[in-house]
């Protein structure tokens, strides 16, 4: 018989500040890079109002409680707490999160906080952003403010959301890396600063909150070889390292995977590491690994003289000449937005991460973006229910395989604005009534998946 989900399993949902909160300049908040972004794709909304959670937070928590959430994973807007990224604290910002945290706890929902989810204070971006090494101490200082103000009640922390996604295709999610000429080196320099920032925050967390747990939150997925051609196996291994293990090896073991380092050296793009950095990375130990999973990927061999013209723009972004190229998997169905759907890939991913690092795992994102329609106050999103059922089934199989899984916080608890495809691409259990060009009143409606999740959590207790 299959094992059941553990009793204290964290069934919940997930959001991020800039995609959900709105109130971009309310009550002393400083602008973030996402607020001042000019490369918003045509036909999609900016992030200034988003789902207006800033003014609806209580109703939103009530909806989560009604679904029976045990946890809620959300991010804190750095520039709401520190408008310039450093210096004076915005007490009104602290108050907003205090109210949210207290109300969640009152409803028996455990807050899981991401410290940084794609929205750097713009004042820090003007100082060079993640490319300027000073960012490490700015982040460390910010993390200490969070631990000091919220650490008495918040016991689960995530440092940086999807660092690997920012490094692999940062522009899509609004991250920049300085001049084009040194693009490769800059990108990995940014990565090193993020690694150091995350490490310092983990160390501070363990020092400041004795009973807290902290971990990273990359986007990890299983990589399949395109065929049984031996070279495709090399390609799949390459992609797994460049996309997944390079990040987790550093977070967990404090080492930089040699495959990527060799590639950077060969391309004259090795980033600088200062004395003591490697020690810091080794010293910082996550208590668990949080990760986001949407899909698997398939890799084929790429030769040095490969022409990538046959690839789609997304595949080009995810491929490296001479290392691997990501290609389509004909065995998988796709979402309305072209993302491959692979529940079994989630089981493989859980197994692989656990096998490699032996730390408890927490799913902090998983979900399906689609066009939902509000008809007579109702949204029939059977396709979402089907997606969740299939993924949850694979989670249970993974638990039965011996994987230690702490919880499931799908994306997203409530509709929010997608990173680059607007609010028309919806993810939530709750519909937010607005469009990309009409903010309306952002009224909330329970979707069919809301009632399904509520029943599911109740019966899985």
Instruction: Say whether 287 sits in a helix, a strand or coil.
Output: coil
- Give the separation between CA 5 and CA 406, rounded to whole angstroms: 9
For ligand BG6, the binding residue among 9, 10, 11, 16 (CB under 6 A) is 16
For ligand BG6, the closer of residues 112 and 399 by Cβ is: 112
Beta bridge partners of 290: 362
**Unique residue bearing structure tokens 């982040």:** 139
Q: Which residue is nearest to ligand BG6 (CB)?
A: 418
SS3 65: helix
The torsion of the CA quartet 439, 387, 13, 451, rounded to 10 degrees, works out to 80
CA–CA gap between residue 118 and residue 381 (Å, rounded): 28
**Hey, which residues between 276 and 305 contact ligand BG6 (CB under 6 A)?**
292
237 vs 339, beta carbon nearer ligand BG6? 339
Is position 161 an interface residue for ligand BG6 (rule: CB under 6 A)?
yes
Q: Are 409 and 362 in contact (CB under 8 A)?
A: yes
- Among residues 288, 324, 354, 411, the one that binds ligand BG6 under rule CB under 6 A: 411
C-alpha 285/C-alpha 187 separation (Å) is 24
- Per CB under 6 A, does 369 bind ligand BG6? yes
- The distance of closest approach from Cβ of residue 367 to ligand BG6 in the complex, given in angstroms and rounded to an integer, is 7
Minimum separation from the CB atom of position 372 to ligand BG6 (A): 14
SS3 state of residue 341: strand
User: Annotated catalytic residue: which of 304, 365, 404, 421?
Assistant: 365
**Of 54-62, 102-110, 158-166, 279-287, which part binds ligand BG6 (CB under 6 A)?**
158-166
Residue 425 in contact with ligand BG6, rule: CB under 6 A:
yes
Q: Is it true that the peptide bond before 99 is cis, omega within 30 degrees of 0?
A: no
- Minimum CB distance to ligand BG6 smaller for 151 or for 407: 407
Which residue number, 164 or 302, has a Cβ lying nearer to ligand BG6? 164
365 is catalytic: yes
DSSP 356-411: HH---EEEEE----B----BTTB---HHHHHHHHHHHHHHHHHHHTT--EEEE--B
Nearer to ligand BG6, 421 or 433 (CB): 421
Q: Does the footprint of ligand BG6 cover residue 424 (CB under 6 A)?
A: no
Q: What residues are labeled active site?
A: 365
* Interacting residues toward ligand BG6 by CB under 6 A: 16, 19, 161-162, 165, 219, 292, 365, 369, 411, 418-421, 425
């Amino acid at each position: 018989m299959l094992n059941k989900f553990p009793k204290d399993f964290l069934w919940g949902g997930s959001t991020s500040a800039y995609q959900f909160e709105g109130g971009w300049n309310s009550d002393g908040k400083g602008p973030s890079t996402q607020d001042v972004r000019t490369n918003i794709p045509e036909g999609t909304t900016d992030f200034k109002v988003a789902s207006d959670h800033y003014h609806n937070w209580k109703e939103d928590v009530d909806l989560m409680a009604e679904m029976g959430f045990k946890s809620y994973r959300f991010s804190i807007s750095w520039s709401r707490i520190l408008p310039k990224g450093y210096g004076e604290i915005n007490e009104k910002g602290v108050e907003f999160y205090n109210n949210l945290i207290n109300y969640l706890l009152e409803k028996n929902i455990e807050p899981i906080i991401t410290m940084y989810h794609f929205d750097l204070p713009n004042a820090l971006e003007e100082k060079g952003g993640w490319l300027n090494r000073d960012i490490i101490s700015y982040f460390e200082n910010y993390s200490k403010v969070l631990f000091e103000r919220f650490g008495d009640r918040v016991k689960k922390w995530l440092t940086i959301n999807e660092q690997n996604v920012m490094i692999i295709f940062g522009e899509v999610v609004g991250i920049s890396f300085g001049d084009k000429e040194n693009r490769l080196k800059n990108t990995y320099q940014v990565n090193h600063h993020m690694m150091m920032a995350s490490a310092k925050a983990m160390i501070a967390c363990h020092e400041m909150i004795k009973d807290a747990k902290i971990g990273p939150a990359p986007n990890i997925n299983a990589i399949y070889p395109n065929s049984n051609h031996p070279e495709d196996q090399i390609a799949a291994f390459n992609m797994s390292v460049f996309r997944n293990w390079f990040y987790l090896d550093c977070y967990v073991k404090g080492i930089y995977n040699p495959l990527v380092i060799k590639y950077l050296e060969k391309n004259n793009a090795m980033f600088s590491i200062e004395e003591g950095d490697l020690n810091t990375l080794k010293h910082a130990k996550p208590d668990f690994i949080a990760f986001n999973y949407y899909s698997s990927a398939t890799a084929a061999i790429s030769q040095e003289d490969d022409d990538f013209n046959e690839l789609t723009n997304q595949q080009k972004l995810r491929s490296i000449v001479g290392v691997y190229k990501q290609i389509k998997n004909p065995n998988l169905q796709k979402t309305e937005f072209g993302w491959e759907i692979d529940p079994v890939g989630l089981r493989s991913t859980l197994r692989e991460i656990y096998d490699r690092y032996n730390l408890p795992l927490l799913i902090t994102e998983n979900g399906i973006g689609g066009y939902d329609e509000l008809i007579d106050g109702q949204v029939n999103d059977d396709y979402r229910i089907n997606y969740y059922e299939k993924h949850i089934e694979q989670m249970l199989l993974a638990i039965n395989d011996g994987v230690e899984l702490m919880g499931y916080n799908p994306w997203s608890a409530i509709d929010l604005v997608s990173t680059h495809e607007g609010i028309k691409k919806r993810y939530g259990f709750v519909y937010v009534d607005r469009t990309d060009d009409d903010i309306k009143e952002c009224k909330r409606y329970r979707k069919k998946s809301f009632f399904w999740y509520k029943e599911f959590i109740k019966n899985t207790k």
